[in-house]
Amino acid sequence: MGLLTGKNALVFGLANDKSIAWGITQALHREGANIGISYAGEMLEKRVRPLAAQVGADFVEQCNVDSDEQITAVAEKAKAHFGEIDVLVHSIGFANKNELQGNFYDTSRAGFHLAMDISVFSFVALAKAFQPMIRRGGALLTLTYYGSVKVAPNYNMMGVAKAALESATRYLARDFGPQGIRVNAISAGPVRTLAAMGVSGFRDMHRNFVEMAPMRENITIEDCGNAAVYLCSNMSAHVTGEIHYVDSGYNIMAAPDPNSLKEQKGE
């Protein structure tokens, strides 16, 4: 018997087999959850359908989270299909490319609004739309990044959005607590996904990460999946409003470890 046997899990933000959402989907499926999948737009359908088939998901619905109507529609369809939901995963983030470079003060009003809408408000809106059908003992989960807490050069507007997302996680945890529903976030280290590859300088970041992190290894989407199993199952009963780092320990360091350089030189 799996840790999520008999539970219904809905995952938002699957783009391809590199997506953090895919690592999470596979792990939830492995633990016995019935999977439902939602993706952003038509362009992704031919990628997402075969992945959904791999995990036996027969609920596969398009939902662009910039639209209240599409959020309401996917919630209604989920209600008709599953009846009740136990797990909702939000693995969505977006900012205009020009807001992810240069000076943060050059962020435009429209760019600020867009990033906050897609990366933060969408989690709140999904929480509201699904609240009536989430079972006691259920869990909501979102994905964040350390650029919310410390300055990651060029992450700019997304850092501000992630700070708001982490705060929203705590406020939602308060809202849902009395219903026995938990709300948490995974703060993942850099992963080579579609969203990350669209970023200049990401390769260097990925390499520098290994040097700084106590464990000297990059993280994988499987690591995120296993952390998601913990945060969405009874294994984390009474854990709510937390930002759970899956980052090889990167965030605990104040300075690069001189040993790391010696190791590289083979000393």
Q: Is 102 in the site for ligand 0WE (CB under 6 A)?
A: no
Q: Directed axis angle between helix 156-176 and helix 109-116, to 10°?
A: 40
Q: How far is CA 170 from CA 89, 98, 173, 254, in A?
A: 16, 30, 5, 26
Nearer Cβ to ligand 0WE, position 97 or 174? Answer: 97
> CB 151 → ligand NAD: shortest distance, Å?
15
Kindly report the number of other CB atoms within 10 A of residue 147's CB atom: 20
Question: What is the C-alpha to C-alpha distance for residues 222 and 245, in angstroms, rounded to an integer?
Answer: 14
Q: Is 95 in the site for ligand 0WE (CB under 6 A)?
A: yes
Question: What is the C-alpha to C-alpha distance for residues 8 and 57, in angstroms, rounded to an integer?
Answer: 11
Could you tell which of ligand 0WE, ligand NAD, none binds residue 198, using a CB distance below 5 to 8 A set by kind?
A: ligand 0WE
In this chain, which stretch among 1-9, 37-45, 193-201, 217-225 interacts with ligand 0WE, using CB under 6 A? Answer: 193-201
Could you tell which of ligand 0WE, ligand NAD, none binds residue 233, using a CB distance below 5 to 8 A set by kind?
A: none
Q: Is 199 in the site for ligand 0WE (CB under 6 A)?
A: yes
Q: Is 145 in the site for ligand 0WE (CB under 6 A)?
A: yes
Strand partners of residue 34: 8
Q: How far is CA 121 from CA 3, 115, 151, 215, in A?
A: 30, 9, 22, 34
Contact with ligand 0WE (CB under 6 A): which of 154, 218, 233, 240? 154
Q: Is 116 in the site for ligand 0WE (CB under 6 A)?
A: no
> CB 265 → ligand NAD: shortest distance, Å?
28
Nearer Cβ to ligand 0WE, position 83 or 198? Answer: 198
- Residue 145 designated active-site: yes
Could you tell which of ligand 0WE, ligand NAD, none binds residue 152, using a CB distance below 5 to 8 A set by kind?
A: ligand 0WE
Question: What is the C-alpha to C-alpha distance for residues 181 and 52, in angstroms, rounded to an integer?
Answer: 26
Kindly report the number of other CB atoms within 10 A of residue 3's CB atom: 17
Residues that bind ligand NAD (CB under 6 A): 13-15, 19-21, 40, 44, 64-66, 91-94, 118, 143-145, 188, 190-191, 193-196
The sign of the torsion formed by the CA atoms of 94, 81, 239, 173 equals positive
Which 9-68 positions form the footprint of ligand 0WE (CB under 6 A)? none
Question: What is the C-alpha to C-alpha distance for residues 203 and 239, in angstroms, rounded to an integer?
Answer: 34
Active site residues: 145, 155
